[in-house]
Structure 1
Amino acid sequence: MSFGDPNSPYGPPPQQQPPAPGYGYPQQAPPGVPQQGYGAYPAAPPMQGYGYPPAGPAQMPGITRAAQIMLGVIVLAHAVIAALYGYSLTQWDELVAEADLSNNSQAEAIADLGKGILVFLIGLAAVFALLGLALVVQYAKGGNGVRVCSIVYGSFAIITGIFMIAAWGIGLLIIIVAILLIIFAAKRTSAEWFNRPRF
């Protein structure tokens, strides 16, 4: 096949450009290319972040900050619950002594069981408050696990609120705040905050 063959699958040969003018003649840019003045540098190509994920928010969004505050309120409520149970425990022995259960061994056993349950509830509320505090501290630098744990923590807080609803009125507050925590932590803005790249 020759280059002049019209049946060539490769098409016609490329056109030859005219030779550039010699020494002393100004150089002309090809058509369609803007000319630059003498001493000007060529324009730099646009900067692109190849290989990097898109940047996330630089500051914690308001909805995520609200979730952190709701989590702090639940932590505070559990600390108050632990303190109230502790106060009840200090009063327990006085109430048992006033009831004069020394003659009834079965009543003493029930009173000891009640005291044991009270100690267990104090420990449970204190541990729950400490776990929540650990999550609150991690909001600024933690990953997506902090968000997921916050949602799970809010779910357990709803159960705590149900058990405490008849007690000191704190239960209703815990339920409302825990629902708000779950909603705020599940928002897309919060997910973007916890999934942001960290360099």
Structure 2
Amino acid sequence: MSFGDPNNPYGQPQGQPQQPGYGYPQQGQPQQPGYGYPAAPPPPAYGAGYPGGAPMTMPGLMQTARVLLFIVAGLQIIIGIVLAFVIAAAQDVSDSVGAGNATDGLAGLGFLMVIIMLAFAGLAIFLGVKFSKGGNGIRVTTIVYAALYLLLSIANFAGGEASSAVGGIIGLAIGGIILASMVTSSASQWFNRPRY
């Protein structure tokens, strides 16, 4: 009685037909269906199964708003640092003249404005960085930031000077673009997309 290949412990005895699906498949023989684990289905396409699908890349208007947030933050940081130096220099001059006590309150108010400006710059940078992975809270915070930026730009018109009016127009344009990009349906889809 022969038991097949002596080096294959799973080999079939010679002279007997091979049972389908048992042992290792022999070369040239097709794999028999029905035995073992089924193959895993391919992963779904990004955004498949969700209403409207999730975009694979950030929409262009949102990329523009993100860049504008970084530009606004950079300008606020530069203006805040320059303003802090101007306030400190003015306070030094006031101290040397002997009127330092009278201007301490104004200097303190000026430094408070610098701190608020730098805090808004930090918020703009934070929002811009979080655009890629943030959720709907980032979108809502950006809407509030853009609305405040628009209000401050409108307040620039109250100054009545030509430089204030130009700054107000530029601020209105930047704030309007940021706000408009956040209220679109593509922004809603981007910030509500599934994250794995």
TM range (shorter): 0.5 to 0.7
Report how far residue 80 of structure 1 moved.
2.3
What number of residue pairs does the alignment pair up? 147
- Point out the more displaced range, 182-191 or 70-79: 70-79
Partner residue in 1 for 2:84? 86
Partner residue in 2 for 1:192? 189
> In the alignment, residue 128 of structure 1 is paired with which amino acid?
F
- The 8 Å contact of residues 131 and 138 in structure 2, kept in 1 or not, is answered as yes
Structure 1-normalised TM-score? 0.63
- The 8 Å contact of residues 63 and 189 in structure 1, kept in 2 or not, is answered as no
The runs of 5 or more residues in structure 2 that have no matched partner are 1-32, 34-41
Say which structure, 1 or 2, has more relative contact order (CA 8 Å, 6+ apart): 1
> In the alignment, residue 183 of structure 2 is paired with which amino acid?
A
Partner residue in 1 for 2:145? 153
Equivalent of 1:133 in 125, 128, 133: 125
> In the alignment, residue 113 of structure 1 is paired with which amino acid?
G
Q: Structure 2: how far apart are the matches of 1:143 and 1:128?
A: 20
Q: Structure 2: how far apart are the matches of 1:84 and 1:174?
A: 19
Structure 2-normalised TM-score? 0.64
Report how far residue 101 of structure 1 moved.
2.7
Q: Structure 2: how far apart are the matches of 1:171 and 1:100?
A: 37
Report how far residue 59 of structure 1 moved.
0.8
- Would you say 1:177 and 2:174 are equivalent positions? yes
The runs of 5 or more residues in structure 1 that have no matched partner are 1-40, 42-46, 103-107
Q: Structure 2: how far apart are the matches of 1:99 and 1:160?
A: 35
- The 8 Å contact of residues 65 and 177 in structure 2, kept in 1 or not, is answered as yes
**Cα deviations by residue, 1:111-131 (Å, 9 ceiling, x for unpaired):** 111101011011100111111
- Point out the more displaced range, 135-144 or 163-172: 163-172
Q: Structure 1: how far apart are the matches of 2:96 and 2:151?
A: 34
Pairs within 5 Å for 1:74-113? 74-97=72-95, 100-101=98-99, 108-109=101-102, 111-113=103-105
> In the alignment, residue 87 of structure 1 is paired with which amino acid?
F
Q: Structure 2: how far apart are the matches of 1:52 and 1:188?
A: 18
Q: Structure 1: how far apart are the matches of 2:91 and 2:112?
A: 16
- The 8 Å contact of residues 73 and 177 in structure 1, kept in 2 or not, is answered as no
Q: Structure 2: how far apart are the matches of 1:171 and 1:124?
A: 19
SS in 1 for 2:188: helix
> In the alignment, residue 172 of structure 2 is paired with which amino acid?
I
Report how far residue 73 of structure 1 moved.
2.2
> In the alignment, residue 119 of structure 1 is paired with which amino acid?
F
Q: Structure 1: how far apart are the matches of 2:169 and 2:110?
A: 21
Q: Over aligned residue pairs, what C-alpha RMSD do you find?
A: 2.9
> In the alignment, residue 75 of structure 2 is paired with which amino acid?
A
**Cα deviations by residue, 1:28-79 (Å, 9 ceiling, x for unpaired):** xxxxxxxxxxxxx9xxxxx9x7x95343001111111112112222212221
Q: Answer with 1 or 2: which has the greater Rg.
A: 1
Q: Structure 2: how far apart are the matches of 1:86 and 1:117?
A: 11
- The 8 Å contact of residues 71 and 150 in structure 1, kept in 2 or not, is answered as no
